[in-house]
Structure 1
Amino acid sequence: MLVLRVPVPDRRHWAGLAVVGGGVVAGFPLLTTLALQTSTTSHAAVVVGLLPLTTAAFSAVRTGARPSRTFWTAAVAGAGVVIAFTLQESGGALSVGDLYLFGALLVCAAGYTEGGRLARAMPGWQVIGWALILCLPIALAGAAAALSFEPVRLSVHGVVGLVWVAAGSTFFGLYVWYRGMAEIGVARASQLQLAQPLLTLLWSVLLLGESLSPAAPVAAVAVLVCIAVTQRARG
Structure 2
Amino acid sequence: MRAQSSATAAPAIAVTTDAERPGLGVLQAALGVTAFSLTFPATAWGLEGFGPWSLVAVRSVLAALIAGACLLVSRVPLPDRRHWAGLAVVGAGVVLGFPLLTTLALRTSTTAHAAVVVGLLPLTTALLSALRVGTRPSRTFWIAALAGAAAVVAFTVQQSGGALTTADALLFAALLVCAAGYTEGGRLARIMPGWQVIGWALVLCLPLAVPLTAVALAYEPVELTAHSVTGVLWLAAGSQFLGLVVWYRGMAAIGIPKASQLQLAQPLLTLVWSVLLLGEHLTVAAPLTAAAVLVCIAVTQRARG
Task: Determine if contact 1:49/1:223 at 8 Å carries over to the other structure.
Answer: no
CA distance in structure 1 between the aligned counterparts of 2:247 and 2:218, rounded to whole angstroms: 35
Task: Determine if contact 2:268/2:286 at 8 Å carries over to the other structure.
Answer: no
How does 1:94-113 map onto structure 2 within 5 Å? 94-113=164-183
Q: How many residues align?
A: 235
CA distance in structure 1 between the aligned counterparts of 2:195 and 2:166, rounded to whole angstroms: 34
SS at match of 1:50: helix
Aligned to 2:208: 138
- Inter-CA distance 138–194: structure 2 relative to 1 (3 Å threshold): same
1:59 to 2:125 alignment? no
How does 1:140-219 map onto structure 2 within 5 Å? 140-212=210-282
What letter matches 1:205 in structure 2? V
Deviation at 1:114, TM superposition (A): 1.0
- Inter-CA distance 187–76: structure 2 relative to 1 (3 Å threshold): closer
Sequence identity, in percent?
A: 76
- Inter-CA distance 31–65: structure 2 relative to 1 (3 Å threshold): same
- Inter-CA distance 63–154: structure 2 relative to 1 (3 Å threshold): same
What letter matches 1:189 in structure 2? A
Deviation at 1:35, TM superposition (A): 1.2
SS at match of 1:113: helix
CA distance in structure 1 between the aligned counterparts of 2:73 and 2:149, rounded to whole angstroms: 46
What letter matches 1:25 in structure 2? V
Give me the TM-score of the superposition, normalised by structure 1: 0.84
CA distance in structure 2 between the aligned counterparts of 1:172 and 1:24, rounded to whole angstroms: 13
SS at match of 1:154: coil
Aligned to 1:22: 92
- Inter-CA distance 19–216: structure 2 relative to 1 (3 Å threshold): farther
What letter matches 1:39 in structure 2? S
Give me the TM-score of the superposition, normalised by structure 2: 0.66
Alignment deviations for residues 77-131 of structure 1 (CA, whole Å, 9 cap, x no partner): 6666677778878888743311111111111111111111111221111111100
What letter matches 1:49 in structure 2? G
Deviation larger for 21-30 or 155-164: 155-164
CA distance in structure 1 between the aligned counterparts of 2:158 and 2:293, rounded to whole angstroms: 16
Aligned to 1:7: 77
Task: State the Cα RMSD in Å.
Answer: 2.8
Deviation at 1:4, TM superposition (A): 2.5
* Unmatched runs of 5 consecutive residues or more in structure 2: 1-70
* Unmatched runs of 5 consecutive residues or more in structure 1: none
Task: Determine if contact 2:94/2:181 at 8 Å carries over to the other structure.
Answer: yes
